[in-house]
Chain A
Amino acid sequence: MLIESFITTLISTLLSPWGLSLAALGALLGIILGALPGVSSTMALAILLPLSFSMDAHLAILFLLCVFVASVYGGSISAILINIPGTPGAIVTQLDGHPMAKAGKAREALTYALIASTVGGAFGLGLLVITAPLLANVAMSFRSPEFAAVAVFGLVLLAYASPGTTVRGLLVGAIGLICGMVGFDTLTDVPRFTFDTSALQGGIELVPLCVGLFGLGEVLKHLHASNQTAPAISMAATQRTRLKVRTLIKSWKSMLRGSLIGAFVGAIPAAGSAIAVAIAYAQEVRFSKHPEQFGQGAIEGVVAPEAANSSSIGGTLIPMMTLGVPGDAITAVLMGSLLIHGLRPGPMLFSENPEFVSSIYAGFLIALLLTLIIGILLMRWLPLILRIPSHILLIGIALLCVVGAYAIRNSMADVYIMLFFGALGYLLHLLSLPSAPLAFGLILGPLLEENLRRSLILGRGSWDIFLHSPIAMGLFALSAFAIALPLLAPLWVRLKSDIQRFKTPF
């Protein structure tokens, strides 16, 4: 019954010129807005939300889904081409995507990202359709102790994700954790590290930090090396359409792993795509046979986080649609648009309005297809960004950094924060420390602190509360295992050689 109405809605939308052109417009705007640094998917949706008020409910949700899905891919365009994440979900795509672009393989990286994005999105959609009620139940059983355990697990994995030595990554990650404490304490509203200024009371947002660290910091880095022109990438290299299909097929495992992580992390309320991509990237590095290739343009480093990023869309829709609880800011905006149209996502939606549920599924599928088509059509023009002379590009990027940092909350404080982290990013570069763990620390720190402290209040001060949660204990065990693995590995090697020596007579 659900499938029947799904197909009817799909066909009727595809056959209506108005609906299709609206969806195409949404996808186009989504890609462009997503690619603009500082314009997150949330912001792209919020900017375009008023346009949807006058549309029919199912057209409005189709339009917004197209913007959403396309902006998720759009975010990786600027990450790959100019090393600035267009959206927070693209923060790790640039780690390997940009080195690829520098090596003249921009087009390849973009194609991999687009295909991984489509595969991940389709995976997320499939999971949403099949297991929505089931997965929502699992995610709902996540309470504060489980969230604290997830954050611990994430931090452990991310220690491996940073290029260079683990200690350096942890050092920068710790700075990120401290940055996450700035502003109002989440549990008591007590201002911390605000130096009695109102500017810091709002805390340090992820976007201004990322824009400063990866955007402005990069500009400063280029200024520093101003005698060297920005890496010139010949159009010939980027225009080559010959795709290594075999390489792409070979990375199906990474895509699948990324999709799985994305969909599951996305389904946990409040986790969001930034955490999903960070974990996806970390485990790719962790389980890769060639971890040293990451950060140098490893295909897995582009494909896995991109798949995770897109499949987290389907994941975040699960708690929103089945429980009426938005998983993150983006679904909160989507939910707002549904409410404007008098549709209340939640437990009653499936039973009272199944046609609408299937029209959301159909809209999602159309959004994926249109993003793929428009993404391929636009790709010829995308590398043009790289042809802009570096001095103009740098000014443009710096300008976008300022505008983007301001636009996310309309606050000058965020611009100052962005400038500060721009300088810090440059400093870290001079000290040859990795800057990405700073952003990871900022994401996971508040998650850990809030949930750990809340668990302890719930347990009335006793740590026993973690013992009562099998999920949390399982995650802690995994974390301990992940920490112990590199320590155990040399031990195992030595043991083996000892055994060998023991066996061979002297």
Chain B
Amino acid sequence: MKKQLLIISSTVLLGLQCATPIFANDFPEKPINIVVPWPAGGAYDLAARLIAEHASDTFSVPLVVQNVTGAAGSTGVRHVANANADGYTIGVMGTHAIAQSYMNPNATSLDELTPLVFIGPEPAALAVSSETNIEDIATYLDTLKDTPGNIINGNDSPGGFSYIAASMLENQFDVELTKIPYQGYAPTVSALLSGEVMSALLPIPLLADQHAAGQLRLLGVAAQERHPFAPDVPTFKEQGYDFIAEDFFMLYLPEEVPEERREKLADMFYALLQDTSFQDAASKIGLVIQPKPFDETERYLEQRSDEVYDILATSGLVDGSLTR
């Protein structure tokens, strides 16, 4: 009898414990995990750690950055999608998650994720090795028009942002590059500096110093505006070409997080991203912060995923089981 009572009471207690967070209004009440799908030290990691560092002003709880890496970023995305939908697990993603969702049948579908807040774009610039004689975009495109595949471009393996950016350039200007894959941005920059490849489309903070030192040439910024790290480099638009290639940083949740919590998180992160001390710190490391509230973020993701799908479909990279 006593034993039974113990079992019943403990079951009730346990049940209560599980139930409390759902009824409680004081969300969040324990540390929130931010899952970064890439190793520590990269741009995604820096952005997440900067957010975590500045969180004490707007958040009552600490934010903990967790690197869950592997399989071209899809391991981290799956980790978030499979986490408890209680709002305590948040992910950071970019173009890679969209690309993987169409290329890899084992990757998480975008439908299983809820976009939260758009952090900012990461614009790319077209860089050429200083060993080439190419001085401007016109020469670059002419070289390609004369002999298709003449320019050796360094990029990610298919599905990485710099590969997609290179494909976008090919589609936009109807040219053909010889695309050589590297494992990440740092080896691509090395290859560009050593002259193994002739050009690359990469995020600007990685190229700005080498451009200033004359080790490589930036031909144009593929964004709406010039980048503060390389103010002397004009955009493609300024030079008469309509070309934009941006990666992006975005926070997202697993699906089915209670709406109340999702809204609260979205509001808190949006406020944090607009904080001036955060924005100052971000601009020091070359991050462009242009936060978007929840509904705009959702629209942006849909639009981007259509764009990326088209590029992958053109290059024949969409997996047979994932065609639209």
Contact = CB atoms under 8 A, between A and B. Distances in A.
A46 B38 CA distance: 13
B74 A201 contact: yes
Contacts of B46: 336, 339-340
Interface of B: 39-42, 45-46, 49-50, 52-53, 65-72, 74-75, 78-79, 103-104, 106, 152, 157-159, 178, 180-183, 186-187, 189-191, 193-194, 196, 209-210, 212-213, 215, 284-285
Interface in A157-205: 183-189, 191, 194, 196-198, 201-203, 205
A409 B38 CA distance: 10
B106 A346 contact: no
B67 A410 contact: yes
Contact of B70 (A42, A143, A335, A409): A409
Contacts of B41: 326, 329, 332-336
Contact of A347 (B40, B74, B191, B215): B215
B70 A340 contact: no
Contacts of A205: 70
A53 B52 CA distance: 11
B285 A342 contact: yes
Interface in A91-131: none
Contacts of B79: 410-411
A454 B180 contact: yes
Of the candidates B41, B50, B189, the one having the most CB atoms from chain A within 10 angstroms of its own CB is B41
A184 B183 CA distance: 11
Nearest to B214: A347
A202 B74 CA distance: 9
A267 to B, nearest CB: 12
A490 interface: no
A323 interface: yes
A198 B109 CA distance: 13
A196 B106 contact: yes
Given A332-B41, A342-B284, A143 B152 contact: no
Given A186-B157, A340-B50, A454-B182, 14 more contacts: A45-B40, A46-B40, A49-B49, A50-B49, A142-B194, A188-B157, A189-B104, A191-B104, A326-B186, A334-B41, A336-B46, A340-B285, A409-B67, A458-B180
Contacts of B190: 140, 269, 319, 323, 325
Given A189-B159, A347-B209, A411 B68 contact: yes
A344 interface: yes
B190 to A, nearest CB: 5
A325 B70 contact: no
B68 A188 contact: no
Contact of B106 (A185, A198, A342): A198
Task: Identify the 4 closest CB pairs spanning chains A and B, nearest first.
Answer: A202-B70, A332-B41, A201-B71, A336-B41
A144 B181 contact: no
A185 B181 CA distance: 11
Given A49-B40, A342-B285, A409-B75, A186 B181 contact: yes
Contacts of A144: 191, 196
Nearest to A53: B53
Contacts of A491: none
B152 A344 contact: no
Contacts of B69: 202, 409
B157 A344 contact: no
A410 B68 contact: yes
A189 B103 contact: yes
B209 A324 contact: yes
A270 interface: yes
Interface in A267-290: 269-270
Contacts of B187: 269-270
A47 to B, nearest CB: 10
A336 B74 contact: no
A344 B209 contact: yes
12 contacts: A189-B72, A319-B190, A329-B39, A332-B41, A342-B285, A409-B69, A410-B66, A410-B79, A411-B68, A413-B75, A454-B182, A458-B196
Contacts of A410: 66-68, 79
Nearest to B156: A189
Nearest to B193: A140
Contacts of A332: 39-42, 186
A141 interface: yes
A344 B49 CA distance: 17
Contacts of A42: 40
Nearest to A330: B41
* Of B52, B71, B104, B157, most A-chain CB atoms within 10 Å: B71
Interface string A443-473: 0000000100010011000000000000000
A348 interface: yes
Nearest to B50: A340
A6 B42 CA distance: 30
Interface string A337-356: 00110101011100000000
B39 A186 contact: no
Contacts of B71: 183-184, 198, 201-203
Contacts of B189: 324-325
Contact of A346 (B42, B67, B210, B285): B210
A65 to B, nearest CB: 15
Contacts of B72: 184, 189
A270 B212 CA distance: 25
Nearest to A323: B193
A339 B70 contact: no
A348 B209 contact: yes
A342 B50 CA distance: 12
A202 B209 contact: no
A196 B187 CA distance: 29
Nearest to B229: A344
A201 B70 contact: yes
Contacts of A347: 209-210, 213, 215
A308 B187 CA distance: 24
A349 to B, nearest CB: 8
Nearest to B65: A50
A450 B184 CA distance: 13
Contacts of B103: 189
- Most B CB contacts (10 A, CB to CB) among A42, A189, A332, A457 go to A189
Contact of B213 (A46, A196, A348): A348
B213 A188 contact: no
A450 B187 CA distance: 12
Contacts of A457: 178, 180
Contacts of A325: 186, 189-190, 193
